[in-house]
Chain A
Amino acid sequence: MPHALLLKYPGTNCDVETERALSAAGFSTQVQPIATATPAHVSKAQLIVFSGGFSYGDYVMSGRLAQLETERFLGDALQKHHAAGGFLFGICNGFQILTKLGILPRASLILNKSERFECMWDRLVKVSRTCPFTQLLPDEFELPSAHAEGRLVCDPGDAQKYLDNGCVALQYADNHNGSELRIAGLQDPTGRAMGLMPHPERFLRPRHHYDPDWSGDPDWGWGYYFFKGVFEALR
């Protein structure tokens, strides 16, 4: 059974739902506070997950202190895990952390264009055809979003480069947060690391949908298929 390690920081608040989603997809899962995490924890896992929340109160900027503390406690264990064929998945604040760690293509997630926290459902468009995390999903689907710092920005020209070379996994249909080229999810060139702002773990079952008559899938919400997709890729 593939094993997932979920790293938890002070302020992480989506770990319970994310652990539930990982278990539903078939993973054995360990939730580990970063202060007691070691490279040995990383080496036992096939998938490292960073869930949503407000790590370290989003001080300095979202994900920054989590990145620094991860480097302090784990050194380059995550980079080695990735280089050795391991998978990494960052959701919302986890996406912000993964970009800061330099595992995903160079980008930053800053305050939404509205300069406010926004909680809503987002319609998403699948862009990459090779992303293991989205392989089981339809071309368009919806997920809940809840963030203040979800506007993806890049160095000049990089966003188009990511779109051209297949690093854009998902785009927003409606770009409420003002991300460059409507980018909602990025993957690295290998496809083994992915981050996205919306919350797949919050749409695990059909009853989690805002529409009580939603009939997209009889058993699962779209979010489930992110976890199932990477599970299938690892099996």
Chain B
Amino acid sequence: MATLTFEVLSRFQTAADANKLLYAPIADKLTYNHTRLYTAECSGDESAARAYLRGVLVDPISQKVEEDGKPALTGELFCISYEIKKGALDLEKEAIMTNYAGRQGLPFTLRALTITQNIYIFGEGDKEALIERFCKDVCNPAIHTWSVR
């Protein structure tokens, strides 16, 4: 069993005002950028699985991808990673898995897929207070689990 990761980000997206993420603005001059991290559990032909998933998940014109497990962006104050809770319906994952299941004769088995949204916050401020503030407004405890690094 192999674990493949694809952290996808736009080539055209620049860091934006982080107040866009909050219900009420804050005085700190912070910016944010976001990426989407796909983690796939596969068995069989790993290079074929990687090629299939890259073709599905990455637009070569408008996006870049990190496949070596390292963060796609660096220099952040903190990064919030959130995903749909286990057992809750993740429609994007279901759509990808349905397409995979409908393909005939692929030389690998895609056993699981997890989609994580990464929000990178850049700038300076009271890190712990800001983490609490951003997690409260970005994540929904009814449907998300999240971690901060």
Contacts and interface: CB of A to CB of B under 8 A. Distances in A.
Physical interaction between A and B: yes
Interface size class of B (residues with CB under 8 A): 10 to 19
Given A60-B57, A108-B59, A115-B20, 20 more contacts: A57-B92, A59-B91, A59-B96, A60-B95, A61-B59, A61-B63, A64-B59, A65-B96, A69-B99, A69-B102, A72-B102, A108-B61, A108-B62, A110-B12, A111-B10, A151-B12, A153-B12, A153-B61, A153-B62, A154-B61
Interface string B38-68: 0000000000000000001101011100000
B61 A60 contact: no
Interface of A: 56-57, 59-61, 64-65, 68-69, 72, 106-108, 110-111, 115, 151, 153-155
A64 B10 contact: no
B149 interface: no
A111 B59 contact: no
Contacts of B96: 59-60, 65
A68 B99 contact: yes
B95 A107 contact: no
A59 B12 contact: no
A200 to B, nearest CB: 25
B140 interface: no
B10 A60 contact: no
B112 interface: no
Most buried by B among A57, A60, A61, A65: A60
Contacts of A107: 61
Nearest to A153: B62
Nearest to B36: A60
B13 interface: yes
B86 interface: no
Nearest to B11: A153
Nearest to A110: B62
B12 A60 contact: no
A178 B21 CA distance: 22
Contacts of B92: 57, 59-60
Interface string B127-146: 00000000000000000000
A69 B102 CA distance: 9
Contacts of B70: none
B19 to A, nearest CB: 13
A185 B36 CA distance: 29
Kindly list the 3 A-B residue pairs having the minimum CB-CB distance in the complex, ordered from nearest: A59-B92, A108-B61, A108-B62
A111 B56 contact: no
